[in-house]
Amino acid sequence: MITKIEELLKKVEDFKPQAQADIEEFRIRLLGKKGEVTALMEEFRTVAPELKRELGQKLNILKSAALEKVNAMKSEFSGRTASGGKIDDMTRPGTNDPIGSRHPISLVRNQIVAIFARLGYTVAEGPEIEDDWHVFSALNFPPDHPARDMQDTFFVEKNPDILLRTHTSSIQVRVMETQKPPIRVICPGRVFRNEAISSRSHCIFHQVEGLYIDENVSFADLKQSILYFAREMFGQAAKIRLRPSYFPFTEPSAEVDVSCNLCGGKGCGVCKGTGWLEIMGCGMVDPNVLEACGIDSTKYTGFAFGMGIERIAMLKFGVRDIRLFFENDVRFLRQFGSVL
Ligand code: PHE
């Protein structure tokens, strides 16, 4: 027994773990239920009384040496870091630093952009602080149109010519002024309207508008493009319907409804029992707008559409209050980490 104890003591002294897992294995091999030291303890009960004293002492030394070694090795390994200068345990699982998730508005914007990219649209951007021409005049807004009113538009430094854009149609004007047809662009961006903040509207929100100009572009092309978008965004079962509407820059104009994806069109609280949800405005670009931007309206036709990203995101994710998108409460934002 003495030789066995000494043998094990030497083993403890010589033990050099390569990896953290080795330490646990070593502990089990010696001190576990079926370990070698444990077995010696069992055996100790049967040794002759005159040997007990000496053997007992030796056994205790062995046991505490083994324990000490295990603990010392454990703390050494846990103290090792890649930056600590020591050789790290390459088998140790890494620690993940928590990273954020994309904002739901970014997720939906990216998805809208991706859908239209598949139809050949490219992205155009423009300034948030605009002039009257690009936001209103070039778009056929009469001088007395209520959208120009102080109630709807934020003006910059009391100068009625400089304002925060109320829609991203201003980007489309910039594109038409600088590019020749065929034009196929979508314009995502932040827009500003002097409106009371409620669960349904905010003074800052995001839009994606689209513009397609070429020879022989028809209303049928518009309808088909929007149907494609609605199905990609809300699922292949989505239906659309167009209701006549009015915008100064399109003629004819329409509002687009998509079948309610929450109740499948049967009628529910979100669609107010109608089975339909309004998602965007659209129409054929008014010839006056084409001419104002230097495009020959006898040769070219085009369509335009525009939607609010918050609205699409609310419908898609069942968010009932638009203000949640601006409060940036991580408990809200965190939920969208991997939805798209
Ligand atoms: N610019 C319109 C808005 O902000 C949306 C729209 C774009 C409507 C293009 C028709 C065509 O409300």
pLDDT in tens, 106-146: 999 999 999 999 999 999 999 999 999 999 999 999 888 88
Paired strand residues for 302 = 213
Measured from the CA of 207, which atom of ligand 1 is nearest? 4
CA of residue 281 to ligand 1 center, whole Å: 5
Among the listed residues 124, 111, 201, 169, the one whose alpha carbon sits nearest the alpha carbon of residue 286: 169
Q: Quick one: pLDDT at residue 127?
A: 97
Of ligand 1's listed atoms, the one at least distance from the Cα of 210 is: 9
Using the atom order of ligand 1, give the atom closest to the CA of residue 306: 7
Q: What is the pLDDT of residue 144?
A: 85
How much distance in Å is there from the Cα of 31 to the middle of ligand 1?
Answer: 76
Ligand 1 closest atom vs CA 139: 1
| Ligand 1 center from residue 288 Cα (angstroms) | 16
- Which residue in this structure is represented by tokens 């040794």? 47
C-alpha distances (whole Å) from 46 to each of 33, 77, 190 are: 18, 39, 85
Pocket of ligand 1 (CB under 6 A): 167, 169, 209, 247, 250, 281-283, 304-306
Predicted TM-score (pTM) above 0.75: no
Return the axis-axis angle of helices 20-31 and 2-14, rounded to nearest 10°.
Answer: 170
Query: Which ligand 1 atom is at minimum distance from the Cα of 307?
Result: 5
CA 174, 178, 184, 189 torsion: positive or negative?
A: negative
Report mean pLDDT in 10-residue bins for the chain, 340 residues. Answer: 86 86 88 89 87 87 88 77 57 78 93 97 97 94 82 84 95 96 97 92 95 97 97 94 96 95 82 91 97 96 97 91 92 76
d(CA 211, CA 199): 30
Report the b/e string of 153-165 with b at 16+ CB within 10 A: beeeeeeeeebbb
Q: What's the gap in Å between 37 CA and the centre of ligand 1?
A: 81
Q: Best mutation site among 249, 310, 311, 312 for ligand 1, i.e. most ligand atoms within 8 A of its Cβ? A: 249
Which residues on neighbouring strands pair with residue 156, listed in sequence order? 159
CA 308 to ligand 1 center in whole angstroms = 9
CA of residue 10 to ligand 1 center, whole Å = 83
Identify the residue whose C-alpha is closest to ligand 1 atom 9. Answer: 305
CA angle 225, 167, 165 (to 5 degrees): 155
In whole angstroms, give the CA distance from residue 206 to residue 109.
Answer: 9
